[in-house]
Amino acid sequence: MRKRFREFSPLHLGGLVFLFLSLLVLLLSRWVYTIERSNEILLVKEEASKVQNLLAISLANSVSSTELLAFLVEKDLIESDFESLSRKVLSQNPTLDALQLVEAETIIKTYPLEGNEAVIGFNIFEDKIHRQAAEKAIERKKLYFEGPFELRQGGMGMVGRLPLFKEGLFWGFAAVIIRLETLRKSLQLEPDGQSQNYIYQLAKIDGEAAYPLFDFDQEPDFETGVVHKAFFEEGDWYLFVKLMYPTYLRNTFLFSVFGLVFAGMMGLFVYQKTIEPVKLKKLVAEKIKEQQNLNQVLEKKAHDLALSNQELEQFAYVASHDLQEPLRMISGFINLLGRRYGEQLDAKGLQYIHFAVDGANRMKQIILDLLTYSRVGRGAEEVSSIHLESILKEVLHLYRKQIQARKAEIVYQDLNEVKGERYLLVQLFQNLVGNALKYSKKDASPTIEIKMDSRENEWLVSVADNGIGIDKSYHDKIFLIFNRLHSNSAYEGTGIGLAIVKKTVEHMGGRIWLTSEIGLGTTFYFTLPK
């Protein structure tokens, strides 16, 4: 094994580091892609909800207006009150243009009459399309919109018809007319259907086909990009809202490029560090050949060579420590860029600098956590009998400031002695208690309860909290390395802590699992052999 490691070339080591970091960058890029796209989808949904609310108001006005007309029909007040009631309804509902009464199949009343005289006496069932829309309203027994189409009184608009029944028999329809221009203005849409960041359209669904209601200059593709659509059954409409300039692909690309450049720098750094022992070996070989008669010098060189081989066995550990230095260099130079050229950069540029510094700091923390993860199971400390209460007191001392700040209550009882490595046990409880404090609810003081129960051949230890809880679908995933449930802006971390906990417990011959409910808290259970 040592011979193979000795023959592993610096180029291979540098290549492996580059490959590992590149894979890590690709994984993180996928995470960045998912987060960025989710944020932009949320923005589109919020914008769509504004237009949905405006359309819902217009539809609510239509429903209430037709129901008032239905009341007139039911009480036989058409002749006396139709005009006065319609005048009052339209004055209070600027989203409507006209009201109509259709007795059986014929339009008998309209308000305002001026400009709409052409529709009086029109039989809506004579036209196939009008007939189909009217029959659909009768079938649904509620308000249904037809159109848009060319109105008989001129212009493009839509007619919403509410079927009326008198004494159980079909009487006719109460109808509202909304011109397309009125609808566009009520939805606060510009004449071109665009705002600074979004594109809008309202489409009519006819079977499997769909056609736009508004005749905007451009017809964008609502099947691709960041799009949200909402359905309105009152007219079989789909409201489409699309983000004009999504940035998630660009941000993901920039992250990937910077990450791969960083991976290349790390690979080159490892190569440069590992090439030095190789050069030393060549120099030793040359000296041995030149000074064959100097046995003493030869023995010294051989001894130095043996020490070099031992150092190579710990190279990965040392190299990981050295990775932190270029991270500090990157973070320092980026901070210098921000201080020197900050006044020349826009908000986006300053944000990119912040992202780069934050990324370097997080990469440093990832390296430190990976070192901790790799040290588990090396057996650097002897196994001995340790009282868990002393371990817990040491951990609580480390977190004393957080405990005081959050007014946390720590409860524990009946903690016995176990056999293990003290460092690993401290690390185990430090992660579990730290997580319980970190993921506590903002409006309640944390309560953490540690228990220890005896079983036939093992101890069962539980650490319970009253925090935010973990969804059941993630119970098996949270122990995987780099698997995080929250964004770094919400809760800081690298996603390695619980992986360290699992590896520590399994190294000591135990098992670990959890139970949790969202909003009620989480309990981690693990066993330790007696």
Which of 3-7, 122-126, 176-180, 325-329 comes out lowest in average pLDDT?
3-7
Q: Give the model's confidence band at 102: pLDDT under 50 very low, under 70 low, under 90 confident, else very high.
A: very high
| d(C-alpha 228, C-alpha 51), whole Å | 12
| d(C-alpha 215, C-alpha 236), whole Å | 18
Fold for domain 58-178? Beta-Lactamase (3.30.450)
DSSP of 244-259: SS--HHHHHHHHHHHH
Average pLDDT score over residue span 365-391: 68
Average pLDDT score over residue span 433-440: 88
pLDDT tens-digit series, residues 198-242: 999 999 887 777 788 888 877 778 888 999 999 999 989 999 999
| d(C-alpha 434, C-alpha 443), whole Å | 18
Name 480's Cβ contacts closer than 8 Å, sequence gap at least 6: 499
pLDDT of residue 421: 84
Higher-confidence residue of 120 and 373: namely 120
Q: Give the model's confidence band at 372: pLDDT under 50 very low, under 70 low, under 90 confident, else very high.
A: low
| Proportion of the chain above pLDDT 70, given as a percent | 83
Fold for domain 384-529? Heat Shock Protein 90 (3.30.565)
In this chain, the answer to whether the domains covering 58-178 and 384-529 adopt an identical fold is no
Name 311's Cβ contacts closer than 8 Å, sequence gap at least 6: 277, 318
Which of 438, 255, 253, 500 shows the shortest CA–CA distance to 358?
Answer: 255
Residue 464 predicted with pLDDT over 50: yes
Mean pLDDT across the chain:
83
pLDDT tens-digit series, residues 130-153: 999 999 999 999 999 998 889 888
* 443 touches 482 (CB < 8 A): no
Q: Give the model's confidence band at 2: pLDDT under 50 very low, under 70 low, under 90 confident, else very high.
A: very low
* 202 touches 214 (CB < 8 A): yes
- Quick one: how far is CA 241 from the chain centroid? 20
Which of 361, 368, 518, 363 shows the shortest CA–CA distance to 439?
Answer: 518
| d(C-alpha 205, C-alpha 184), whole Å | 18
Omega of the bond leading into 446 within 30 degrees of 0 (cis) = no
Q: Which of helix, strand or coil describes residue 43? A: helix
Q: pTM higher than 0.85 for the full model?
A: no
Domain edges within the chain: 2-40+250-375, 58-178, 384-529
